[in-house]
């Protein structure tokens, strides 16, 4: 296994709004999926890529600005991703800044109140 992180569940309060936010910020498809009794937004991924989804949590979980920090790939489009944050109901907490030899990141709140990092190898 080449990735230590293999999946991420991102809690949301408004699934359609969150799907629009993540599709715009990531510049990738987020599809509404589901089955009997459940629905979620699937973040586009292929093969062995790390994947994830947006989901409506129960009482034991909710969006948070203080929980784990998930880094999402914005390589080659960090500035566009950051611009999409505010335009789609999020908030930029820290604009793009270098993180040593590990590239660049911006820390934002998504449209649901989750703190996430947008990562790129170059600004």
What is the Cα–Cα distance from 113 to 110, expressed in whole angstroms? 5
Fold of the CATH domain 7-120: 2,3-Dihydroxybiphenyl 1,2-Dioxygenase; domain 1 (3.10.180)
What is the Cα–Cα distance from 71 to 14, expressed in whole angstroms? 21
**Coil vs helix vs strand at 17:** helix
What is the Cα–Cα distance from 98 to 104, expressed in whole angstroms? 4
What pTM value is reported for the model?
A: 0.90
pLDDT digits (tens, 9 = 90+) for 50-72: 899 999 998 888 999 998 899 99
The domain ranges of the chain are 7-120
pLDDT digits (tens, 9 = 90+) for 90-119: 999 999 999 999 999 999 999 999 999 999
């Amino acid at each position: 296994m080449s990735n230590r992180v293999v999946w991420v569940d991102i809690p949301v309060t408004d699934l359609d709004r969150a799907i629009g936010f993540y599709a715009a910020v990531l510049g990738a498809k987020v599809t509404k999926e589901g089955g009997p009794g459940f629905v979620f937004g699937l973040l586009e991924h292929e093969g062995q890529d790390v994947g994830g989804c947006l989901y409506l949590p129960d009482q034991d979980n909710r969006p948070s600005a203080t929980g784990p920090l998930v880094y999402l790939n914005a390589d080659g489009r960090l500035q566009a991703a950051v611009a999409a944050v505010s335009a789609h109901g999020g908030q930029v907490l820290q604009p793009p800044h270098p993180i040593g030899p590990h590239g660049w990141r911006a820390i934002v709140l998504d449209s649901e109140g989750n703190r996430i990092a947008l990562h790129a190898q170059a600004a």
